Every structure is written in C-alpha cells, then in structure tokens.
Amino acid sequence: MKTRTLTVLLALLLVFAFSFGASAYAGTTFTDTNDAVAVRMCELGIVNGYPDGTFNGLKPVTAKEYVVALGRLGYGTLNGENWYQPYIDKLIKDEVLPAAMFEGEEIDQPIARQQSAVLLINMAKHLNVLPEVTDADFEKTKATVGDYDIICWRCQEKVVKALNLGYVALDKDVFHPDRSITRFEMVDMLNNLACAGSF
C-alpha cells in the first residue's frame, strides 16, 4: 500500500511538473523535423530545440545533455548556478548516475548507448517503475544481441533489461554499445521510459 501511494504521489507530481513545462513550450515546431516525439519532449520541457528553430536530431548527445534531459524527466526543472550541475548532483545523490561514470571532461563527450541504457534502468528503478524481467526473458533477449560480448561487463545486465523492456532497441541484431546516441534516439529512449512509467 505504501509503495502504491508513493507511486501515485510521484505520478501526480510529474503530471504537475509536465503541465507546467508544457505551457512554456506549447506549440513547438521545428524547421528541420516534424518528429512527434521530439516535439512532445520539447513541449514537456525535457529537451530544447536550437535558437535557429531546428532540433538537429542526428546530432550526437553529450553526457551532460543526456543527464539533464533524464533529470528533467524524473524531477522536473531544477535550478542552480548552471544548467546541468543540479541534475548531476541529484542523479548522483539518488544513485541514478554512478559518480565515476563521467569523470573529468567525459561529461562533455558524446554519451554511448550502453551508458544511456544503464541510466535509463537506474532512473526507472529510482522512480519505482522498473518491472521485473524474468530469468527466461533475460536469457532470451541476451541471446538476440549479436555484439553482447563487447558490451562493458558492468553494463551488460542493464543493457539487456533496457532492451527487454523496450527502452532501447537493436539495430539489425546488434546493439552498438559504444556508438554515440543522437538527439532522436535520446528522445525516443526517454519517451519509452515515460510511457512505461505512465508519466
């Protein structure tokens, strides 16, 4: 009962936060795409477009941009001295972002697909919306990943869970764990998590 109450309260908080964000960005359009997910995530205040009116969906996403978008999805808008540090601090505090994941200048580098999958699973767990994956389903999904052996051993379990839950997808039976994600991939991943969590 306590978990259900917490989940309902969290859902109401997120609806309120998203309603506030939606009013600020309502009617978003981009000159370079009409991708519905990109528009929705922008209208919710999760991601931003560029001043020239573009979304730049094929542009690689830095780790900093990704953790801010993930933080906005989970917590709404956080204020601080700069646009990213409050999200990094909160995600580390809540054990969504491993403190050592992005050391030094890595936070300004493109985020790899395996890193993004780990953070999605960690956020789903933190928000209490991570469904159980049976051992049989885990093994079945694992067997479909053609490049499983090159996924970092610390990321393998969470990558397979993210695949099994539909948060991320394979590309012709391979995951490409070290490939940078694009802005289109980022909004798809965040949308998949949001839909799974019924935000």
- What's the pLDDT score for residue 7? 43
Residue 53 has pLDDT above 50, yes or no: yes
Phi, psi angles (nearest 5°) of residue 182: -95, 170
- What's the pLDDT score for residue 2? 45
Residue 161 has pLDDT above 90, yes or no: yes
Residue 131 has pLDDT above 80, yes or no: yes
Domain that holds residue 25: 2-196
Query: What is the biggest distance separating any 2 CA atoms in the chain, rounded to whole angstroms?
Result: 49
Residue carrying structure tokens 């798809």: 188
Q: Are the beta carbons of 168 and 162 closer than 8 angstroms?
A: yes
C-beta neighbour count of 4 within 10 angstroms: 9
C-alpha span between 22 and 32 (Å, rounded): 21
Look up residue 73 and give its two tokens: 């999805």
Residues forming beta bridges with residue 60, ordered by sequence position: 182
List pLDDT tens digits, range 190-199: 999 998 765 5
* 3-class DSSP state of 198: coil
Residue 179 has pLDDT above 80, yes or no: yes
Q: Are the beta carbons of 86 and 78 closer than 8 angstroms?
A: yes
Overall average pLDDT of the 57-70 stretch:
96
If one counts the domains in the chain, the total is: 1
